């Protein structure tokens, strides 16, 4: 059982419903607030809508998104929904449009011939076999994103690196070594619900 919690910093945390003290995974990639989340019917993946005008599909245990969807005219995405057959993702954005996206962008819609099925299976087996090759890994991780997301992501990386250097300097000033001072993202202090 898993549940997602939204944060305003563009991070998304996945919790195990039985242990809510700290998240299981920190999902990254958004450059603005995450506005909506919906799990696939299988529960293995989820889709998240961002204020940065993009939709990201994540595997439940992966930190980075497997796909990023956006269009030039799309405004901030307010809601997302995974279809019951797990083939489509629906999104509603600020400019009053509902868009339908394929959950797996490379998947062909409609009936497949025997030759097409064999070709897809062969290509998938090749990707699986050579997934650790540096060039294949680079191609698989590469995502084309709009300029505003690309520049905001670079800025967020600079901020994270500066924060990490600051934390390391503070730990050295306190006499701690690097292993003692390291705290994983899932263990860091998060903004919680305000208590009444």
User: Does residue 150 belong to any structural domain of this protein?
Assistant: no
User: Does residue 175 belong to any structural domain of this protein?
Assistant: no
Which pLDDT value is given to residue 81? 93
Which pLDDT value is given to residue 82? 92
User: Does residue 193 belong to any structural domain of this protein?
Assistant: no
Largest CA distance in the chain: 66
Tens of each residue's pLDDT in the chain, 196 residues: 455 555 545 667 666 666 666 677 778 888 888 889 999 998 889 999 989 889 999 988 888 888 889 888 888 899 999 999 989 999 999 888 899 999 988 888 889 899 999 999 999 899 899 989 999 888 888 888 888 888 998 998 999 899 888 888 888 888 877 666 666 666 665 555 444 4
The boundaries of the domain holding residue 12 are 2-105
The predicted model scores a pTM of 0.74
User: Does residue 135 belong to any structural domain of this protein?
Assistant: no
User: Does residue 96 belong to any structural domain of this protein?
Assistant: yes
User: What is the number of structural domains in the chain?
Assistant: 1
User: Does residue 195 belong to any structural domain of this protein?
Assistant: no
Contact 55, 33 (CB under 8 A): no
User: Does residue 124 belong to any structural domain of this protein?
Assistant: no
User: Does residue 156 belong to any structural domain of this protein?
Assistant: no
Which pLDDT value is given to residue 134? 92
Task: Report the CATH number that the domain containing residue 33 is assigned in CATH.
Answer: 2.130.10.10
């Amino acid at each position: 059982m898993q549940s997602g919690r939204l944060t305003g910093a563009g991070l998304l945390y996945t919790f195990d419903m039985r242990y809510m003290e700290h998240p299981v995974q920190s999902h990254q990639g958004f450059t603005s607030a995450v506005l909506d989340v919906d799990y696939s019917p299988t529960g293995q993946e989820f889709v998240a809508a961002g204020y940065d005008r993009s939709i990201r599909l994540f595997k439940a245990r992966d930190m980075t998104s497997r796909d990023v969807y956006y269009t030039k005219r799309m405004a901030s995405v307010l809601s997302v929904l995974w279809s019951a057959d797990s083939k489509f993702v629906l999104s509603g954005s600020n400019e009053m449009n509902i868009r339908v996206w394929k959950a797996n962008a490379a998947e062909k819609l409609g009936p497949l011939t025997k030759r097409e099925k064999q070709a897809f299976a062969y290509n998938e087996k090749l990707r699986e076999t050579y997934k650790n090759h540096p060039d294949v890994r680079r191609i698989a991780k590469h995502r084309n994103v709009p300029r505003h997301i690309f520049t905001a992501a670079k800025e967020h990386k600079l901020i994270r690196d500066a924060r990490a250097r600051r934390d390391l300097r503070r730990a050295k000033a306190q006499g701690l070594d690097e292993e003692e001072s390291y705290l994983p993202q899932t263990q860091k202090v998060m903004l919680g619900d305000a208590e009444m």
